[in-house]
Structure 1
Amino acid sequence: MEKIKVAIVGYGNLGKGAEKAINLAEDMELVGIFTRREPKTIESQSKVYSLENILDFKGEIDVCILCGGSATDLRSQGPEIARHFNTVDSFDTHAKIPEYFNDIDLAAKEGNNLSIISTGWDPGIFSMNRLLAQSILPQGETHTFWGEGVSQGHSDAIRRIDGVIDATQYTVPIEESIERIKAGEKVNFTPRDKHKRICYVVAEDGADKEEIEFKIITMPDYFVDYNTTVHFISEEELKKNHKKMVHGGRVLRIGETSQATKQVYEFKLDLDSNPEFTSSINVAFARAVYKMRQEGKIGAITVFDVPISYLSNLTAEEQRAKLL
């Protein structure tokens, strides 16, 4: 079997998860990890290269999985790398997806490449379930709840604030709101009614904690629309109590197929490791990108554009026999 040659760009939590997922994929081969850090400082059994040298590998990489953060990394790295390689990323700033899609589409077409964006679990497979549920139950309402768990994107956004050494952010669903929806109550919830955000932050010595807290709770796209609590703690306490990457969530659609006939569609995740699960999704979509590029597709796409069968390493015959 000719293996799909995959590269990892960035070696944080997502990059480490992608490495594990690729090693479990029989139809894939990891070309290497590309990092902005000094390669010799990366502890990995895989080959590690400087990101500055990635263009030396044109022709040797089928798909790059971009594992940088959405707040800053992907906005610049995504289009730049899409000009030269097929790419997969888990860009998760929902409000910026249309703009980011256009940037990637332009860059990928310039390079005659194919790039899929936002392939985590939300956006990503939660998006797929929202579309599926709405298609099946056109008369109804869809609600998405996240957590309780650690949001990598929100935690990363806090860590980008001047004066912050490290941070972990928990997204916590408001269970009372979930029960009201499942009971069939007609609601018009704001984001603040559905979730709260709890932040644990390690600040530099002498940092202005009030200013850091203000920057967090007023941050557009991340915290401003939620009830957000900020706790400043020691680095030791953060490492001891707030480094597990658990997460989860659910998509709920309450609809009617005839008068007074209520139908509840629910898709739920309960994750021990958010980054490893997200990375496993990215690796599956890397397989799909490879197949679709082989068919001549270029530009930017999303999870809505991918046949579900393309995510699997099983043949069509095996899928029909084992899974249909």
Structure 2
Amino acid sequence: MEKIRVAIVGYGNIGKFAVEAVNEAPDMELVGVVRRPSSLSKPIPPELNNITVVSDIDELENVDVALISMPSRLVEETAVQLLNKGISTVDSFDIHSKIVDLRNNLNLIAQDNNSVAIISSGWDPGSDSMIRGIMEFMAPRGVTDTNFGPGMSMGHSVAVKAIEGVVDALSVTIPLGTGIHRRMVYIQIEPESNFDQIKENILKDPYFVNDETHVKLVPNVKDLIDVGHGVLMERKGVSGSTHNQLLKYEMRINNPALTSQIMVASARACLKQNPGSYTLIEIPIIDLIYGDREELIHKLV
């Protein structure tokens, strides 16, 4: 069996777990990890000692799929560069309001370069989106509430870290029910920085403007970090003309580990799609799973 050659672009929380997930996939081969040039001047993390680490993907040969393990605001630029090289991409872009625009922007580029982009391939957006879709066709009329947490939001935390004057940050999502959330943001700041100005910048960031958000100054963010997270999704709706159909889905997870696992499954699916850009709800579930198609049908159906 010819293995799928995978590169990991970025080595933060998701990238570290992506290395493990690719190495555990029987149909994949980890070609290398692409890190910022500034990172290469520092000691290589021990877990990367036997892995090729480069500053540019051009230094790697015959990459089939690149897992973009970078902040959402860097995804589009990185994906465009990779797709133009004919390399398929998978990302975990999590700015919900901009997903359709990203999909459309990458679609023609992927088609022109005979490649595939699977976007927003984490657990939400991503696998939760698929569950919401399943609930929708089970009860076409009704209301679905997605309640996140309690847990660390990687996207929100990274957005805060990017604000000038912030040394480190943690954003914790607290579910209040019916899809409403509170954001608890804990920050360390540079000694001369203005806390009130930083707080204002956080509150007006698109990641936070739609939720109740509290910003707290702490001496050491690392003492607070727990990457656990979760979701409770509930739908109350109507099947045909029958009311009171109650559907529930719940999970408690390690956030970056699950995100990277879904990205790896999406890398497998890349090779089974026509050129273009896709969200997970457009991908056949069986394309994400390793194994013989008929055996999978026998096992799962």
**Normalised by the size of structure 2, how large is the TM-score?**
0.93
Counterparts of 1:290 and 1:45, CA distance in 2:
29
Amino acid at match of 2:77: S
Contact kept, 8 Å, 1:149 with 1:170, in 2: the verdict is: yes
The correspondence for 1:304, drawn from 262, 275, 281, is 281
Counterpart for residue 79 of structure 2: 78
Count residues in correspondence. 296
Does residue 291 (structure 1) correspond to residue 291 (structure 2)? The answer is no
Counterparts of 1:247 and 1:139, CA distance in 2:
29
Q: For 1:261-272, what aligned pairs fall within 5 Å after superposition?
A: 261-271=243-253
Counterparts of 2:110 and 2:173, CA distance in 1:
34
Counterpart for residue 232 of structure 2: 250
Does residue 234 (structure 1) correspond to residue 237 (structure 2)? The answer is no
Counterparts of 1:57 and 1:290, CA distance in 2:
19
Identical amino acids, percent of aligned pairs: 37
Counterpart for residue 6 of structure 2: 6
Q: What is the deviation of 1:121? A: 0.6
Counterpart for residue 135 of structure 2: 133
Q: Deviations over 1:23-58 (max 9, x none)?
A: 111111100001113435331134243333x12435
Counterpart for residue 27 of structure 2: 27
Q: For 1:163-202, what aligned pairs fall within 5 Å after superposition?
A: 163-174=165-176, 177-178=177-178, 194-202=180-188
Bigger drift between 17-26 and 156-165 goes to 17-26
Counterparts of 1:299 and 1:170, CA distance in 2:
35
The correspondence for 1:51, drawn from 30, 55, 65, is 55
The correspondence for 1:314, drawn from 282, 287, 291, is 291
Counterparts of 1:32 and 1:57, CA distance in 2:
7
Distance 1:209 1:263, change over 3 A: same
Counterparts of 1:22 and 1:110, CA distance in 2:
28
Contact kept, 8 Å, 1:253 with 1:266, in 2: the verdict is: yes
Contact kept, 8 Å, 2:13 with 2:256, in 1: the verdict is: yes
Amino acid at match of 1:264: L
Q: Deviations over 1:152-199 (max 9, x none)?
A: 00000000000001100001001xx35xxxxxxxxxxxx6xx110000
Give unpaired runs (5+ residues) of structure 2.
none
Bigger drift between 249-258 and 141-150 goes to 249-258
Counterpart for residue 183 of structure 1: none
Contact kept, 8 Å, 1:128 with 1:304, in 2: the verdict is: yes
Q: What is the deviation of 1:253? A: 1.1
Counterparts of 2:167 and 2:18, CA distance in 1:
25
Counterpart for residue 198 of structure 2: 212
SS at match of 1:291: coil
Distance 1:101 1:46, change over 3 A: farther
Contact kept, 8 Å, 2:12 with 2:69, in 1: the verdict is: yes
Counterparts of 2:241 and 2:111, CA distance in 1:
48
Q: What is the deviation of 1:260? A: 6.6
SS at match of 1:134: helix
RMSD between superposed Cα atoms in Å: 1.6
Counterpart for residue 185 of structure 1: none
Q: Deviations over 1:231-279 (max 9, x none)?
A: 11112xx212x222010112211112366741111121201x2001100
Counterpart for residue 125 of structure 2: 123
Give unpaired runs (5+ residues) of structure 1.
179-190
Q: What is the deviation of 1:106? A: 2.7
SS at match of 1:197: strand
Does residue 152 (structure 1) correspond to residue 160 (structure 2)? The answer is no
